[in-house]
Homo-oligomer: A and B are copies of this chain.
Amino acid sequence: MEYKFSDRVSNLKPSAIREIFKYAADPEVVSLSAGNPSPEAFPAKEIAEISAKVLSENPISVLQYSVSEGYTPLRQHLLEYMKNEHNTGNDNDDILITTGAQQIMDLCTKALVNEGEKIIVEAPSFIGSLNTFRSYNAKLVGVTVEPDGMNTAELEQALIANPDTKFIYTIPNFQNPSGVTMSLEKRKKVYELAKKYNVLIIEDNPYGDLRYSGEYVPNIKSFDTDGIVIYAGSFSKVISPGIRVAYTICPKPIFQKLVVCKQGNDVHTNIWSQYICDEFITKYDFNAHLEMLRKTYTKKAQFCMDLLDKYCKPAITYNKIDGGLFIWCDLPENVDMTEFCKKAVLNKVCVVPGNAFLTDDSSVCHSFRINFSTPTDEQLEKGIKILGKLANEL
């Protein structure tokens, strides 16, 4: 049989990152391409404790069907926590628990964007979200990321040129892949523009708790008096990604539609893992855990930047980061970045070519992304040494 796929997915390719993982599976290869939390970052002992208790005392509560909205105590605790700690969410909002934040992008695109309509994204941006948007045949419009976030003049031009834009997708904190944090001024400007042009904002904030330096910047959602911001939070980087728990705080009419879409998507998120997250953030010292994570990653991030300074100058430059898990590295304009990445793999180091994060991955790009949370210190040193040698030879 000749299989005929839908128009929306016929040009969809596997994620470049997930393809690169195939090389990274070779144990001899140093992978700087993943975005996995460090093995020491997991509250494994606490998860084991919580799990053992509930599975012995009340197993059916975490094994039976549950509601699409999510585990009620977790929803209530998260609403309180986000309100108190981040002034995020108000009386016009509600909260939906999802199977990872990727599902938020899926449900929002399904609920809001007709085929061919536009989504404005940062260029570069997180490839996972871009591919989700593409899977509904949405058209992507890229806006350049500057050291303090989106170029807002370019954003306004994009909004004028694309009146069928449904939302602006942004990762304001320690953006993946650029590492950039959007300034407060720009956050306000993005909000103002979204309001002016009557479009929504999806504020994706998986790394917000992982700040290592610089000052806290409020979430865009914290000034959402008009009901135009869909906030996406996740436990993947602060508890565990394998258990797939995230949440969106968004205006109630959108929440209601997302719930209906979630019923048709996976009915509800794994209830055991929702229970784990709820118990961990309420019965344990969640803030102390976040502090431990920041301490671990501050050290790793600094170590990584020191290695880049030591081994990669002058051919590789990079943006200093204040948080998150990624560093964006630039090669000289005369170097073919794709060739460089291929050469790196042949030399047993895996990085992600920067063009993978663009709306059109055939665009010319001189950057690549590295991650420092997954590799050991030894692997980091070995890998970056090789990258520096290769870049400076070219």
Contacts and interface: CB of A to CB of B under 8 A. Distances in A.
Interface of A: 1, 3-9, 12-15, 18, 21, 34-37, 39, 42, 44, 47-48, 51-52, 55-56, 59-60, 62-68, 99-100, 102-103, 105-106, 110-115, 128, 131-132, 134-135, 198, 200, 226-228, 236, 240-244, 251, 253-254, 257, 259-261, 263-273
Contacts of A47: 55, 59, 63
Q: How many copies does the complex hold?
A: 2
B103 A259 contact: no
Nearest to A58: B44
B63 A243 contact: yes
B68 A18 contact: yes
B18 A263 contact: yes
Contact of A257 (B5, B18, B65, B240): B5
Given A3-B251, A99-B99, 18 more contacts: A1-B227, A1-B228, A6-B113, A21-B67, A42-B64, A47-B59, A48-B55, A52-B55, A64-B242, A103-B265, A103-B266, A105-B264, A115-B115, A242-B270, A242-B272, A244-B270, A270-B270, A272-B272
Contacts of A134: 264
A271 B251 contact: no
Nearest to A253: B3
Given A36-B64, A48-B52, A270-B243, A263 B9 contact: no
B44 A265 contact: no
Contacts of A12: 257, 260-261, 264
B59 A48 contact: yes
Nearest to A55: B48
A195 B240 CA distance: 45
5 contacts: A6-B110, A35-B65, A39-B64, A64-B241, A100-B267
A264 to B, nearest CB: 4
Contacts of A99: 99, 244, 266, 270
Nearest to A268: B244
A59 B44 contact: yes
